[in-house]
Amino acid sequence: MTYEGEENNQNMSKQYIFPSGLRLVVNKIDTSKSVAVGVFVGVGAGFENEFNNGLSHFVEHMLFKGTTSRSAFQIVDEVEKVGVKINAFTSKVLTAYYTSSLDTHLEKCLEILSDIYYNSTFNADEMNKERTVILEEIQMGEEDPYELCLDNISTAFYGYKGPGQNILGTKKKIKKYTPVDIKEYFREEYIPSQTVISIAGNVGETLVYDLVNNYFEKFASQGTTAKQRENNESPVYEELIVNKSYEQSHIAIAFPGLNILDDNSNALKMGSNLLGGGMSSRLFQRVREELGLAYNIFSSTSAYLYSGVFIIYLATNFNTVTQAIEAVREEIDKVIASGFNEEEFLKAKEQFKTSLALRMESTYSIMLSAGTNLLIKNSLFSFEDELRKIDDVTLEDVNKVIRDVFEGQDCAVSYVGKRTTNNVKMLLRK
């Protein structure tokens, strides 16, 4: 076992690396009465391919469907009896299983998470039940125009590969997967060197280390090596149109962004916030408040290992698609020509600092940030470092990075609504 530590004003962030390659990060928070535990695995839709798309999410579901010693009901019943909250999620870059509880239930949380990680049975009957659940989940997404539009924008930008793949998979693939497929995928991907355990709360570090050693490292296979992930994130800039008889048209536009390790990520996020991140943002004020052309409009960023996307989304009446897109284009042109001003920039910076401070008051948020940082960025999360990075961003940084997003760049488009002859790309280029 090796140890690395980092101290800040709020907590001590320590990393332990076990012989198997399993990593543990601990954030001790003396003032808290709760503890959050997360098991992070470096597997998600962005690393899948045409043969296994959707399996990361399917495995996540199956880990709650019974172990060699517990039924699916017993898993949740045991934790809920003592007030523990347990859940999981799958993203494009990781899958996480986590609990939130009083600090007195730390060992119970680790024991349960260890049981589902190592002893899940992947029962065929349970798999068929969960297959139906996932198919319903996919159907719900297809019937929600907002969700469908945002799901499709990733595919329009990347194509049917890497982050362009749906986290849930496709109906055709989900129907075909067998217990063997699930077990093989799990065996190949759920390895110690691709796993991080993150714990935040009022815990003793020696106790935490001993518990993780007992419930995780003791059962870990030795000598595994984390997989090298290929760069399958080259953009294709397509336009995906889904014709639905909705009165409202849902439109998403994606431009190239920054990868998850880029030093300018904070500047880009601030630029996104000022353009379309809140009720005082330029897009919201112009397109929604002044022109009344959209009920919902915003911008956001997503970052992956090798690339990122900058997305603008809006929902507008079918008859006002042209006017709404032209209004969006005008705001983009203003940003390219003049950038943001000092007053806007200082507002964004304060919002980011406040958001960070509020996150640091939650053991769950600290656990999530620490686990994600270590797994994806291979670095320890530090409140002081993050605050310094925000303070270091200048107005010039924000204006440069936002111009780089839009100026001379192609884009991808997702459209869900009534059949239209409008070409969103052409409207943006006028």
CB within 8 Å of 82: residues ≥ 6 apart: 101, 102, 105, 108
CB within 8 Å of 125: residues ≥ 6 apart: none
> Position of tokens 């924008």?
153
Which tokens sit at 349? Answer: 């910076």
Which of 383, 274, 254 lies closest to 335 in space, CA to CA?
274
Cβ-in-10-Å burial (0-12, 13-18, 19+) of 323 comes to: middle
Which tokens sit at 114? Answer: 């260890």
Around Cβ 121, how many Cβ atoms within 10 Å?
17
Around Cβ 314, how many Cβ atoms within 10 Å?
28
Query: What is the rounded distance in angstroms from the CA atom of residue 150 to the CA atom of residue 54?
Result: 17
User: Exposed e or buried b for every residue in 179-209, given b needs 16+ CB within 10 A?
Assistant: bebbbebbeebbbbbbbbbbbbbbbebeebb
Query: What is the rounded distance in angstroms from the CA atom of residue 243 to the CA atom of residue 13?
Result: 50
| Pair 187, 350: CB distance under 8 Å | no
Which tokens sit at 377? Answer: 């960025």
Which tokens sit at 195? Answer: 């796993």
| Pair 128, 172: CB distance under 8 Å | no
Query: What is the rounded distance in angstroms from the CA atom of residue 41 to the CA atom of residue 94?
Result: 6
According to DSSP, residue 10 is labeled S
HSE-CB at 46 with a 13 A cutoff on CA atoms is: 24
Catalytic residue among 48, 60, 331, 344: 60
What's the Cα-to-Cα distance from 402 to each of 314, 332, 399, rounded to whole Å?
A: 19, 9, 5
According to DSSP, residue 47 is labeled G
Strand partners, 292: none
Helix, strand, or coil (residue 216):
coil
Query: What is the rounded distance in angstroms from the CA atom of residue 103 to the CA atom of residue 84?
Result: 10
> Is residue 205 flagged as an active site residue?
no
What's the Cα-to-Cα distance from 231 to each of 46, 183, 256, 371, 409, rounded to whole Å?
A: 10, 26, 15, 23, 21
What is the set of active-site residues?
60
